[in-house]
Amino acid sequence: MENLLKGLLVVGGEIKMTSVKETASVEVSGRFTIERGNFKQEFSYWARTYEKFGVLAKVDDYEYETQSTMLGDLPIDNLDRLIQSLNDSGLSTLAKGLGFSQEDIATAMYIHIQNHKYFKAVYGKKVVLWDLLSAKEQEEETLAHVLNNYDTCGDWLKRQCGVVGVDEEGNTIPNYIPTKDELREKFLSLGTN
């Protein structure tokens, strides 16, 4: 109780600020084209990115919009209507070849972002976009980051590493926080150098 009272006596004085951590997000935008054979689409996009781990950056949010669609030299005003017309005419194989999946568009956009001059100016020339890594590479990077920063890393991220805790009766322990040794064992089991 005496320590509490002494602490309360020193509430006055000058205000001091200490920076604990700094982060930033970078917004980038641009245009890119995707081609397959003589079919081509141009897209514009906007994306917000942030630093994930060291030289890894991640896309937090994005939007894209089709700017133009070309079939050879012929501009296409309404791709959906063209596809429907081809299907109605019995040309479904041709119709299936038109357009790109959301995954194709996102991957092309991620490649464009990784090479974006302002993105590189902020994060450095060696930056790798998290979204372009395979699931295995993402798992390896997460485990490496948690192992290298175990004492300062949050429990939430430790739980995301896929180590399941089991009690004496064989029941899964909810919200289990793996030890550093368990994480190291998992990392080595991935065959990572």
Query: Residue ranges of the domains in the chain?
Result: 25-133, 136-189
Residues in the chain, total: 193
**Cα separation, 63 vs 86, whole angstroms:** 29
Q: How many CB atoms lie within 10 A of CB 109?
A: 24
**Cα separation, 147 vs 179, whole angstroms:** 10
pTM score, whole prediction = 0.76
Helix (H), strand (E) at residue 41: strand 39-53
Cβ–Cβ < 8 Å for 99, 84: no
pLDDT tens, position by position, 52-104 = 888 889 999 999 999 999 988 999 998 889 889 888 988 888 888 888 999 99
Residue 12: which pLDDT band, with cuts at 50, 70 and 90?
Answer: low
pLDDT tens, position by position, 138-189 = 988 888 898 888 888 888 888 888 788 888 888 888 888 888 888 888 888 8
Is 13 or 80 the better-scoring residue by pLDDT?
80
Look at residue 8 in the predicted model and tell me its pLDDT. 61
**Cα separation, 128 vs 40, whole angstroms:** 27
